[in-house]
Amino acid sequence: MAIETDVLVVGHGLAGAHAAYQLQQAGKSVVVISDEQYKASSVAAGLWHPLRIRSVEWSWLADEVFPFAHQTYSAMEKVWGAHFFHPKTMVHDIPDLNFQGVWKRQMEKLGSGLGFREENSYRPSDTGMGEIQEAGWLDIPTFLQCSKKALGGNFIEATFDYHQLNLKEDGVEYPGIKAQMVLFCEGNRIALNPWFSVLPMNPAKGEVMKVKIEGISEKEIYHAGFFLIPLGDQTFRFGSNFRWDRLDWNPSEEDASTLIEKLEKTIGRKVEVLEHRSGVRPANHSRRPFAGFHPEYNQLAILNAFGSKGVILAPFFAHQWVLHWKNGKEMNKEVNPKTCKMPKIKENKTTFVP
């Protein structure tokens, strides 16, 4: 007998886990099929903050997505009885007087949420540090583990085979499963999806390390073109870089050395690397996610392309997607595959390099 469910979700990274949670909160049944291959969520540092650092402006939809993410992760922690959402002040290095001027001007313009400190507690400097109060990190492995546990028997660890999906008038059939629709949350493997691979992705590779640094402040997150997230015992999550020319998943010794050199030079201390991994961010050319339905097939939907902001954007757009489907709420035009602007690109990088 086939399992009958409202929605079959493919992929259990941040997107799939949030989609499953929001669907269940809305009283819908859900089955998630996922494997663990090439999962950006397992590489990500989990950092979140609301600033576009170069211009010192609030990021896209910050006033909506941040309160929603706070509320959602706090509720999930209560329901699942676990702790994975860690708000923490972030300090940003101010390299010169010019940037100090920009920072101070923007502080006045943006109002609360930003601060300025005369002293830099990470390196000798007379240009100070900026302070971002609304920041933190998500312990993504713990979060995903809790989500999997909460799904129980509705989580199937397997690779989804696109060729076995039958599109019917009133839904979809997949061996052993009948559903109203499939919601694809496959991250970069969207490139292998016969219905959605046409969407213009622009994935970016990055390195993330766990490092040990003696004698440095562990009070807050430090950002100086790289980030250091304190994990305790003088260890930190450290990263990252963006590369669009190499999209394999192998840790790059060369890129890691460049990052470590920059870190050691900035803080003037020796750094010991304890762990190193690398991955590819599923990102769109226009730096917006995709959330909505296929232009031709109402049984096929997508939630993807969260770029470097999966922690904060995935809860919000999973919720928006559910409201769009259930209540007909209009989806933000920039993210809806039926209406979003397809940028003119020389080369479509919807590609997947194992």
Ligand X SMILES: Cc1cc2nc3c(=O)[nH]c(=O)nc-3n(C[C@H](O)[C@H](O)[C@H](O)COP(=O)(O)OP(=O)(O)OC[C@H]3O[C@@H](n4cnc5c(N)ncnc54)[C@H](O)[C@@H]3O)c2cc1C
Residues at the contact surface with ligand X, assessed by CB under 6 A: 10-16, 33-41, 43-48, 159-160, 185-187, 189, 206, 208, 239-240, 279-282, 304, 306-311
What whole-number distance in Å separates Cα of residue 258 and Cα of residue 250? 16
Any idea what the Cα angle at residue 100 is, between residues 97 and 104, rounded to 5°? 140
Q: State in angstroms the smallest separation of the CB of 346 from ligand X.
A: 24
Q: What does the block give as tokens for 4?
A: 């009958």
Q: State in angstroms the smallest separation of the CB of 189 from ligand X.
A: 4
Long-range contacts of 118-123 (CB under 8 A, 24+ apart): 120/93, 120/94, 121/91, 121/217, 122/91, 122/93, 122/216, 122/217, 122/222, 122/224, 122/266, 122/267, 123/93, 123/266, 123/267, 123/268
Give the residue with the Cβ less far from ligand X, 12 or 92: 12
Give the residue with the Cβ less far from ligand X, 11 or 128: 11
Q: State in angstroms the smallest separation of the CB of 109 from ligand X.
A: 25
Any idea what the Cα angle at residue 207 is, between residues 201 and 208, rounded to 5°? 120
Give the residue with the Cβ less far from ligand X, 98 or 164: 164
Q: State in angstroms the smallest separation of the CB of 27 from ligand X.
A: 23
Q: State in angstroms the smallest separation of the CB of 131 from ligand X.
A: 19
Give the residue with the Cβ less far from ligand X, 11 or 200: 11
Q: State in angstroms the smallest separation of the CB of 305 from ligand X.
A: 7
Helix (H) or strand (E) holding 221: strand 221-223
Give the residue with the Cβ less far from ligand X, 185 or 260: 185
The backbone torsions φ and ψ at residue 18, rounded to the nearest 5 degrees and listed phi first, read: -70, -40
Q: What does the block give as tokens for 102?
A: 């920009």
Helix, strand, coil percent values for the chain (each to nearest 5) = 30, 30, 40
State the DSSP string of 40-95: GGGT---EE--EETTTTEEPTTHHHHHHHHHHHHHHHHHHHT---EEE--EEEE--
Q: State in angstroms the smallest separation of the CB of 174 from ligand X.
A: 11
Name the residue with the smallest CB distance to ligand X: 13
User: Integer distance in angstroms from the first to the last C-alpha of the chain?
Assistant: 35
Give the residue with the Cβ less far from ligand X, 107 or 273: 273
Q: How remote is the C-alpha of 348 from its chain's centroid?
A: 22
Neighbour-count burial of 330, counting CB atoms closer than 10 A to its CB (0-12 exposed, 13-18 middle, 19+ buried):
exposed
Give the residue with the Cβ less far from ligand X, 189 or 223: 189
Give the residue with the Cβ less far from ligand X, 39 or 223: 39
